[in-house]
Amino acid sequence: MALLGAVATVGAVAVAPTFADAGWSVVATPALSGQNVFNSVSCASPSFCMAVGENESSLQTLAETWNGSAWSVVATPTPSGAAALTSVSCPSVTFCMVIGRTYQKPKAPITETWDGSQWTVGAPWSTISGSPPSNQHVDCTSPTFCMAVGFATLSPVIENDVASSWDGTGWTTLTPPELSTHYNQLLGVSCTSPSFCMAVGDYSTPNPNPAATGTVDDSVIMTWDGTAWSVLSSPNAAQSTQNVPGAVWCGTPASCVAVGHAKVLDVTGESTLYTETYTWDGSTWSFVLTPEVVTPAAISCADASTCVLAGSGLGAGVLLWDGASWVLPTVATGPPQQAQLNSVSCPTASFCMAVGGVQAPVGGIAPLAETGGTASDTSGTVLPSVAGGASGATTTTTTTTTDAPASTVATTTTPAGAGRKAAPKTGATRHQAPGSTSALEGVALGAGGAVLLGGLVFLGLQLRRNSRRSPVTAGDGPPEPTA
């Protein structure tokens, strides 16, 4: 199976051959000095996208616009002299909201708004004490409503959910439910109106097996009704120690798709990574497990049956969802590509833009942008899947004015790699099995195999920038921002 054929140099991305399925291709971005990466993209139409990120060499903010045929750099303020832009949402050509954080101590969350011609720094989107929220994500339905989520590190062993809403003039800090007394993380959000948002993430509890160490990560999915957050019952994979939905898309309050990863144990105690796809019908969540051949980072859909997953791994770093299974597109012949897609936006079924970074052969990082559509054809490889459980009763509701208490617990780490087995781990978890996964393990290893080694070297960049549980202590240098 061929891999992406783009050849990158520091500061530029060359135009590559087009992809066979859905017209996916790499598009050129302006040459820049230093190491630059896109963290997020939002498209109001096929002729307008805004991508944001940072220059990792100078710690300056970065933004570029797409006019339907080419990218161009736009000037962005850099609050405190060193900052990163981590998430952007553009409900129109004349309004974009971007959130991020500064590097200079004391580090702080930041906000910038786009009026169609320039960026303006606004009030910080979060007032939660502790380190600036990590894994920040924002989604806007109009210039008068946005929802931003993340998590704040209050101590080396305590993380709390963070959420704030924008009303067109300012931010209101909200208080999502905390399901754990140690680690709570909101990683993605999607809104259809000021009265409906869906947020996804995970929370950790001590491993229930006395012989095992560390924690077990379970999925958390919650909704916003305009006044409060409610936690929905969400499924978790069988024999798993990690269930982490990290990105979500909603077209209506009755139609959402979320993606993440599951770390599943076999009978010997070894664990394998799978992509977990959650679907919402307005009352229940269901999910399927798929071999993780592309590590998921983001999702965008035209509707619940036509989605694009962006991340790192085989081919273009994208998978196409047909409502029941993921399709790995056939791509143009080329050498293994060390690339990472961090975000994707699909304003129409025939046009999507995915962005991230690409590792140059001699070192350095350049912005990466790819375009394509949501439709797949029969030439791509359909990945097998196993259906999971479904549940949807609302279990917890919270107000938005008080903080939940927190206490300490031992930390755990996030797995690296895709489509391969992780180190053996003793003990099982409390989850009930949805079915056998042995066949999936074989496909994951066979589909990826040695080919993934070249394509995932760049994953080191992802892990360095997206470390989810590595608080920085006093004396450390500035951390890399999360996508």
Per-residue tokens: 397: 């509701």
Percent of the chain with pLDDT over 90: 49
Report the pLDDT value the prediction gives residue 352, as an integer from 0 to 100.
94
What is the spatial distance between Cα 96 and Cα 119, in angstroms, rounded to a whole number? Answer: 9
**266 vs 392, more confident:** 266
Range of 14-23, 101-110, 380-389, 447-456 with top mean pLDDT:
101-110
Query: Which band of pLDDT confidence, cut at 50, 70 and 90, is reported for residue 20?
Result: very low
pLDDT of 480 over the 60 cut? no
Report the pLDDT value the prediction gives residue 461, as an integer from 0 to 100.
36
- Lowest mean pLDDT segment, chosen from 98-112, 138-152, 301-315, 447-461: 447-461
Question: pTM of this prediction?
Answer: 0.79
Report the pLDDT value the prediction gives residue 129, as an integer from 0 to 100.
63
Query: Which band of pLDDT confidence, cut at 50, 70 and 90, is reported for residue 306?
Result: very high
**pLDDT tens column, 349-400:** 999 999 999 876 666 788 999 998 887 665 678 888 876 644 433 344 444 4
370 CB-contact burial (10 Å; exposed 0-12 / middle 13-18 / buried 19+): buried
Range of 61-65, 132-136, 384-388, 420-424 with top mean pLDDT:
61-65
CATH number for the 8-466 domain, one of 3.40.50.300, 2.130.10.10, 3.90.1150.10, 2.60.120.10?
2.130.10.10
Give the three-state DSSP class for 459: helix
Pairing, β 306-313 against β 294-303: antiparallel
Q: Percentage helix, strand, coil, to 5, in the chain?
A: 5, 50, 45
**pLDDT tens column, 401-415:** 333 333 222 222 222
Residues in the chain: 483
**pLDDT tens column, 316-328:** 788 999 999 999 8
Query: Which band of pLDDT confidence, cut at 50, 70 and 90, is reported for residue 165?
Result: very high
Phi and psi, residue 43, nearest 5°: -120, 125
Collect all residues with Cβ–Cβ distance below 8 Å to 382 and sequence separation of at least 6.
325, 326, 327, 328
pLDDT of 275 over the 60 cut? yes
**26 vs 142, more confident:** 142
Query: Which band of pLDDT confidence, cut at 50, 70 and 90, is reported for residue 13?
Result: very low
What is the spatial distance between Cα 264 and Cα 282, in angstroms, rounded to a whole number? Answer: 28
Report the pLDDT value the prediction gives residue 335, as an integer from 0 to 100.
30
Q: How many CA atoms are closer than 13 Å to the CA of 374, on its beta-carbon side?
A: 22
Mean pLDDT on 177-198: 94
DSSP state of 412: -
What is the spatial distance between Cα 30 and Cα 67, in angstroms, rounded to a whole number? Answer: 13
Collect all residues with Cβ–Cβ distance below 8 Å to 457 and sequence separation of at least 6.
336, 338, 359
**3 vs 278, more confident:** 278
Strands (DSSP E) contained in 314-450 are: 318-321, 326-328, 339-348, 351-359, 365-372, 381-382, 386-391, 394-398, 421-422
Query: Which band of pLDDT confidence, cut at 50, 70 and 90, is reported for residue 215?
Result: confident
| For the chain, domain boundaries | 8-466
Report the pLDDT value the prediction gives residue 303, as an integer from 0 to 100.
94
Query: Which band of pLDDT confidence, cut at 50, 70 and 90, is reported for residue 133?
Result: low
**pLDDT tens column, 335-349:** 345 788 999 999 999
452, containing H or E segment: helix 451-455
Dmax (CA) of the chain: 59
Cα end-to-end distance, the chain, whole Å: 28
Cis-peptide, bond into residue 106, ω within 30° of zero: yes
**pLDDT tens column, 37-83:** 999 999 999 999 999 999 999 999 999 999 999 999 999 999 999 99
Q: How many CA atoms are closer than 13 Å to the CA of 121, on its beta-carbon side?
A: 17
Reading phi first (left if > 0) and then psi (alpha if -120 to 50, else beta), residue 448 is in alpha
Mean pLDDT on 290-298: 92
Residue 11 C-alpha from the chain's centroid: 24
Amino acid (1-letter code) at residue 82: A
Phi and psi, residue 462, nearest 5°: -60, -45
Amino acid (1-letter code) at residue 420: R
Reading phi first (left if > 0) and then psi (alpha if -120 to 50, else beta), residue 315 is in left
Query: Which band of pLDDT confidence, cut at 50, 70 and 90, is reported for residue 15?
Result: very low
Q: Are 232 and 259 in contact (CB under 8 A)?
A: no
Q: Are 368 and 317 in contact (CB under 8 A)?
A: no
Mean pLDDT on 430-459: 32
Round the average pLDDT of the chain to a whole number and report it. 76
